[in-house]
Amino acid sequence: MAEITAGAVKELREKTGAGMMDCKKALAETGGDFAKAEEFLRKKGLASAAKKAGRAATEGAVGSYVHMGGKIGVLVEVNCETDFAARNEAFQTLVKDVAMHIAAAAPQWVRREEVPAEVVAKELEIAKAQMVEQKKPEAIIEKIAQGKVDKFFKETCLLEQPFVKDDKKSVQEMINDQVAKIGENIQVRRFARFVLGEGLEKKTEDYAAEVAKVAGLK
């Protein structure tokens, strides 16, 4: 077994935010393989998050983010279990990160369970029609269509979108990492995203194009 050095433990702790003993155990369990140790800790965090998910989260904070000189604004409510955790710097950073992500990625719903049934049915209908048009075998049309609906959820539901600061993780996975660090159930309850002039008739096409460009945050 590879020697577990204090430097390796420190580096893993700085990268993951996990405790020293957890980092040491992760490295020991994975034979000193840093990447596998990081994955080990992440899986542990996911398990921890799952256990906490049923606990009441009635505290928290309403965070905001304004971008591009006031042309895009976001309000988001993120809940945790205690006021103590709500005032924690890590929690406050999480709330800001979620608000910034919403500004950048423009989700329509928090989670897939909130998507109206008629919207899901329409997406499924469109996907099936596309498969028929492409002459896909009838036996696999349902499976492929459902895959397209899952992709729709990942594009439009906040918790399933790739996190803008690390697209290897979903927003939910990023939150789960923080649940493991903070030690409380954390839930995004609701959000509102505002784009300046959205829904109003524009006087010029240039302004509409500008808003579309801003929405991409490129």
- Predicted local distance difference test score (pLDDT) of residue 55: 72
- Predicted local distance difference test score (pLDDT) of residue 12: 81
Domains of the chain, first to last: 6-52 (1.10.8.10), 59-109+161-216 (3.30.479.20), 116-155 (1.10.286)
Q: Which residues contact 176 (CB under 8 A, 6 or more apart)?
A: 45, 46, 48, 49
Separation of alpha carbons 75 and 103, rounded Å: 9
Separation of alpha carbons 156 and 115, rounded Å: 9
Residues in the chain where the model's pLDDT stays below 70: 1-2, 16-19, 44-54, 56, 202-218
- Predicted local distance difference test score (pLDDT) of residue 212: 57
Separation of alpha carbons 172 and 52, rounded Å: 14
- Predicted local distance difference test score (pLDDT) of residue 183: 82
- Predicted local distance difference test score (pLDDT) of residue 50: 58
- Predicted local distance difference test score (pLDDT) of residue 102: 97
Q: What is the CA radius of gyration of the chain?
A: 21
- Predicted local distance difference test score (pLDDT) of residue 215: 54
- Predicted local distance difference test score (pLDDT) of residue 46: 53
Minimal CA–CA distance to 69: which of 202, 196, 173? 196
Question: Is residue 123 helix, strand or coil?
Answer: helix
Separation of alpha carbons 131 and 137, rounded Å: 8
Separation of alpha carbons 177 and 17, rounded Å: 9
- 84 within 8 A of 178, measured Cβ to Cβ: no
Angle at 174 between CA 168 and CA 176, to 5 degrees: 130
Minimal CA–CA distance to 172: which of 41, 45, 75? 45
